[in-house]
Amino acid sequence: MSCSKPPLYIAIALLLVLLVQTPVATAQQRTTVQGQIQQQATVTSRLSSPDVILLRLKTRNNLPLNITTPEVQVQQADFLNAATNGQSILITTGLLNRLKTDDQLAFVLSHELAHVALNHIQKTQMRRVGLTLLDQVVVNRVLPQGTVGGLLGDVGLSLLDKRFSRNVEFQADDLGMQLHTKAGYNPEAAIQVFRILQAASPNRMPEFLQSHPISDSRIRMLVQKYKLAY
């Protein structure tokens, strides 16, 4: 029996040490873990540079590097859009802030790159073609007049009838998807981008979405052709 006492003292001493130290240790650990999580969240929510993604799209598809100017221009604007004038690609912060993955950003850029590769600017005589919805109604409703410097808002839609502009968008989605996939990006991201556009739109223009379900038809085309999950 006498030999059981020393372990008991040791056990009590250890327990006291643990009781005193454990909360401190846990608090420290918690702080560290929280810090790591916050850091991870910051890192994972940050997208790669659009320029890096554009370069990957070009090189993996053997496109000439000068097919557009090397830089993607980011424009401060709340609305969601991307566009190209044939020389450069523009994307709004409104869209950029809603994209969650490089794959999604890559699809936006692939779509614009496809417009350039397909010579849409010259063919349509449009000054710019965009990603979201090529419709004057949207342009007029969403954009505060005179605030966008004519970049993304002024898409020259009056030159086109809607059916033709829709065909142009289908073509850019189609080739864009091929460029995107060949560069090793997840094809499902294309659908995710359209979902993001759809989710952002209803509060602003429910009427428009009812009468111009362009995104839905664009999603269906990609889903059917590329066997994606709807």
Binding residues (CB under 5 A) for Zn ion: these are 129, 131, 169, 172
At residue 192, what is the residue type?
Answer: Q
At residue 81, what is the residue type?
Answer: N
User: 11 or 134, CB closer to Zn ion?
Assistant: 134
We find the least distance from the C-beta atom of residue 203 to Zn ion, in angstroms, to be 23
Cα(68)–Cα(113) distance, rounded to whole angstroms? 8
We find the least distance from the C-beta atom of residue 216 to Zn ion, in angstroms, to be 16
We find the least distance from the C-beta atom of residue 133 to Zn ion, in angstroms, to be 9
User: 17 or 96, CB closer to Zn ion?
Assistant: 96
Asked if 127 and 80 count as a contact pair (C-beta separation under 8 A), the reply is no
Cα(123)–Cα(168) distance, rounded to whole angstroms? 10
User: 20 or 216, CB closer to Zn ion?
Assistant: 216
We find the least distance from the C-beta atom of residue 176 to Zn ion, in angstroms, to be 8
User: 22 or 167, CB closer to Zn ion?
Assistant: 167
We find the least distance from the C-beta atom of residue 177 to Zn ion, in angstroms, to be 13
- Tokens at 92, concatenated: 């709004």
What SS3 class is residue 83?
strand
Cα(204)–Cα(211) distance, rounded to whole angstroms? 14
User: Tokens 């350039």 — which residue?
Assistant: 116
User: 135 or 169, CB closer to Zn ion?
Assistant: 169
Ranges assigned E (strand) in 24-155? 72-75, 82-84, 89-92, 129-130
At residue 134, what is the residue type?
Answer: L
- The residue among 61, 69, 72 whose CA lies nearest residue 183 is 61
Question: Which residue has the CB atom at the shortest distance from Zn ion?
Answer: 172
How far apart are the two ends of the chain, measured CA to CA in Å? 73
We find the least distance from the C-beta atom of residue 156 to Zn ion, in angstroms, to be 13
User: 61 or 84, CB closer to Zn ion?
Assistant: 84
